[in-house]
Chains A and B, each alone.
Chain A
Amino acid sequence: MVRKKILVVDDEPDVVNFIKTRLEADNFKVVIARDGLAAMEMVNKEKPDLILLDIMLPKLNGWEVCKRLKRHIRHKYIPIVMVTAKDQPIDKIIGQSLGSFEYITKPFNPSELMETVSKALSNSIL
């Protein structure tokens, strides 16, 4: 089976590190972006199977990245998992038509992360 590729977008290197370790242990290939614009580039270049997307990002925030991807004919079917902090008004934003995505609230434990990732992957049409 081909290893699935996951793009992790977060500006905290340590957050990226522990998520990367966990995902690699579960046999995913991991690529990284540190801000919103870099994330857009990486999507074009790496064509990931799933994106783990933090919301508070430099240059271009996570919602904006999500919106742009969902508008894009080639990228709109890539499943996205939004990573939010506890107090962010997720309900409101879900109502806006950003297209479908999963989300996970920080801090999450490993089993939550893996569950959400596999749920998002199984929902994807590709």
Chain B
Amino acid sequence: MNKKRNVSELDKLKKLSELQAKFVSTVSHELRTPLSIIVGTVDNMIDGLAGKFTASQRKCIQTIRNNALRLHSLINSLLDISSLDSEKMVFKRRAVDISGFIRKTIKSLQPLAREKEIEMTYESPKFLPMVYADSERISQVLTNLLSNAIKFTPSKGKINVKATAEKKEVGASVEEESRGLFFSEHGFIPARTSVTPDFVHVTVSDTGIGIKPQELEKIFDRFYQIEGGVEAGLRGAGLGLAISKEIIQRHKGKIWVESKYPDGGSKFHFTLLQYTPSLNFYISLDERFQLDKKEGKSLSLIFIETSEEGNGKIFSRVEKIVQDNVRGLDVVTKYQDKIAVICDTAREGALIMEKRFKDAIQKHKVNKDSGSKMSVNFGIATYPEDTATEEGLIRKSLERLKEIK
């Protein structure tokens, strides 16, 4: 009875979120089409395709164009906020060369800075690790921070972007709610089951007037506008920093600001996760887990541990054998000093896999070659039979490895 009700409520929620998605895409299309027609037509006029203008007519047309573009960026911001709220925004995360896209973003904003004779520079160590991010979204954040900096820095000022690799999270001024937890869209994999993640820390500092202490906390709020900051025509919707904050937080990073008011400039900071093998394991597990959970499928996690006296040759041989014996959709990664197999199957399926691995290892005489001091142990846990969470999957299969010993 209860279950039935839950199902129908779930259906309702599903329908509601589909409706919302449809609404957003309709609004997006219906608002953007007329706007692009306005901009396109005005562009034609400015380029003289509709005949010559007087200077004052040209000025009017330019005003129309600027404000159409402003409306366009406002619509984009509102759509971003809405898709972030409905969790519809899809992040295409992968290993990204952060220096590359910082340079690219700076270059794209260079003309704007030149108009105010502002000097923009970039500083980074020779080697900077890759980050795990959606480069388009992160460059949206950077574009926002830089265009704010340009807006609020007087002419002939300076803007500096700096990126550094850091072992641990840097001292954010705001205590984060997901402290000790990282990498999961819904955030719950505890750091204790892993190594501490490393970060890349990016700062954007300017030589502007700075931000008043009482405004520091509010500037990441939606629709918040700095008091009397810029002239009306340059004012945005007050959504840029709110969107940036969401984007960074969804990447499990942090964003904050420090400022010395007046005339001490502002310094915005954000952090992003470095791309590491352990992170790779979490990513694969998380992606698989979310997908199977949604589709009501089972998921098994198999940890394989090899022990031997001497060097680690056995490990890589077993790893190779495991690689050769998985099915198309199964993922083989490393977790600390173990091989991790993430497979799309219930417990029986996982046991069949285990047997297959064991047989293959036997056949390859891995045991005989290395003498008697070597063993290969398996620990298996299955969702949803054994546990309802990713964390549970990891813990259970680790526990079972220990039981075997």
Contact = CB atoms under 8 A, between A and B. Distances in A.
A109 B35 CA distance: 12
A115 interface: no
B39 A107 contact: yes
Contacts of B72: 107
B37 A14 contact: yes
B325 interface: no
A19 B49 CA distance: 11
Contacts of A106: 32-33, 36
A4 B72 CA distance: 33
A109 B65 CA distance: 12
A74 B39 CA distance: 36
Contact of B40 (A18, A25, A87, A91): A18
A12 interface: yes
Contacts of A25: 44, 47, 49
A110 B43 contact: yes
Interface in A1-21: 12, 14-15, 17-19, 21
Query: How large, as a class, is the contact surface on chain B?
Result: 20 to 34
A39 to B, nearest CB: 19
Contacts of B36: 15, 106-108
Given A15-B33, A15-B37, A87-B79, A110 B47 contact: yes
B42 to A, nearest CB: 9
B47 A107 contact: no
A19 B33 contact: no
Main SS class of interface, B: helix
Nearest to A18: B40
Interface string B232-257: 00000000000000000000000000
Nearest to B40: A18
A107 B49 contact: no
Interface string A92-122: 0000000000000011111000000000000
A56 B44 contact: no
Given A18-B37, A107-B72, A85 B43 contact: no
Given A25-B49, A107-B35, A110-B47, A85 B29 contact: yes
A12 B37 contact: yes
Nearest to A12: B33
A86 interface: yes
A22 interface: yes
Given A15-B36, A15-B37, A85 B28 contact: yes
A86 B28 contact: yes
Contacts of A18: 37, 40-41, 43-44
A111 to B, nearest CB: 9
Interface in B15-60: 25, 28-29, 32-33, 35-37, 39-41, 43-44, 47, 49-50
Interface of A: 12, 14-15, 17-19, 21-22, 25, 56, 85-87, 91, 106-110
